[in-house]
Amino acid sequence: MIFNILQPFTGIATDVINYFIIRRLWHFCNVECLYYLNMSVQKEIKRITTHNLQAMKTQGEKISMLTAYDYSMARILDEAGIDILLVGDSASNVMAGHETTLPITLNEMIYHAASVVRAVKRALVVVDLPFGSYQGSSRVALESTIRIMKESGAHAVKLEGGAEVGDSVRRILSAGVPVMGHLGLTPQSIYKFGTYTVRAKEEAEAEKLFEDAHLLQELGCFAIVLEKIPAALTKRVSESLIIPTIGIGGGRDADGQVLVTHDLLGITKEFQPRFLRRYLNLFDTIKEAVGEYIKDVKSRDFPSEKEQY
Ligand code: KIV
């Protein structure tokens, strides 16, 4: 080894010299590693703001968004690095088993939102204003928003609609609360639409959506969800807006994507729209695990000697 040349001059054994040199190198590497690790950890725990989302659009980085309704799931999604957690009124379907999003109440949304906020260190938490909590008047909308913000600690609200809810959007924003819009398939209007099929295929509806998107931007919304509309319309709207769009069934040209977490994980089974990519089949995985547990309890295999005090 190269260090051997030192031996005649120092009289110290080669192994000892090597030991100190290697130790020095090791220490240096550790300091360097920790420095870079710290940098990335700091980056990791930085809280996402609406300004970060705008910067992501400007820099061409896609925004990731998922729904969350409870503490445990929100913790996992936040640690995984999701940018936005939406406490969606889809809780009405996936958590409460209702057929539509209409029955969920403001109190129930606040309960879900507060649970999510307690778990989150990094993601921006957006809460859906539930049906009936903002359509009455802009004053009602502001009162509902203030309750959500005060009682849950969330960071922003989302509401469905364009020009019809313009006054409410304006009033909520004037209180300093960031607002996310939602256009296209707006599930709170399901009884008006009659079906959950793709929206804005006809020119008149596409034009109205385009104008509504621009109105929401002018009013000051920080982002807009585009649900189940043709990919070409998503592209046109997204390219013409400065603020980010988040698509669900809107194709690849939205500035970000959102899915209902229970759909992505395969906890829900029957819901199979074309836009859904399932990453797991948790329904069957959990069912199998619970089946094993039931078997073990019945056969007295559980608990074992080691699993008792
Ligand atoms: O409530 C919800 O989950 C939503 C998403 C589908 C965007 O609004």
Query: Are 154 and 302 within one domain?
Result: no
* Token code pair at residue 304: 């074992």
Which residue type sits at 216? L
How confident is the model over 183-205, as pLDDT tens digits?
Answer: 999 999 999 999 999 999 999 99
Instruction: Examine the domain organization and report whether 129 and 272 are in the same domain.
Output: yes
Same domain, 298 and 254: no
**Cα R_g (the chain), whole angstroms:** 26
Q: How confident is the model at residue 23 (pLDDT cuts 50, 70, 90)?
A: very low
What average pLDDT does the chain have? Answer: 90
Chosen domain end from 43, 59, 75: 43
Which has more pLDDT, 43 or 132? 132
77 and 108 fall within a common domain: yes
Same domain, 252 and 294: no
What's the mean pLDDT in 222-241? 98
Count of domains observed in the chain: 3
d(Cα 194, Cα 210) in Å, to the nearest integer? 22
Q: What is the pLDDT of residue 270?
A: 86
Closest CA to 261 of 61, 62, 69: 69
Catalytic annotation, residues: 227
185 plus 54 within the same structural domain: yes
Q: How many helices (H) and strands (E) does the chain have?
A: 13, 8
Q: Is any atom of ligand 1 closer than 6 Å to the C-beta of 185?
A: no
Same domain, yes or no, for 159 and 260?
Answer: yes
What confidence tens digit (pLDDT) does each residue in 58-111 have?
999 999 999 999 999 999 999 999 999 999 999 999 999 999 999 999 999 999
pLDDT for residue 48: 98
173/87 same-domain check: yes
Distance 260 CA to ligand 1 centre (A): 7
- Considering the domain architecture, whether residues 92 and 9 belong to the same structural domain is answered as no
> Residue 307's pLDDT band (boundaries 50, 70, 90)?
very high
Burial of 232 (0-12, 13-18, 19+ CB in 10 A): exposed
Residue nearest to atom 2 of ligand 1 (CA): 88
Confidence of residue 38 (pLDDT cuts 50, 70, 90): very low
pLDDT at 8 over 60: no
Q: Which domain holds residue 14?
A: 2-43
C-beta of 116 in contact with ligand 1 (< 6 A):
no
Best residue among 66, 69, 89 to mutate for probing ligand 1's pocket (most ligand atoms within 8 Å of CB) is 89
Question: Do residues 92 and 141 share a domain?
Answer: yes
In this structure, are 163 and 218 located in the same domain?
Answer: yes
The answer to whether residues 37 and 71 belong to one domain is no
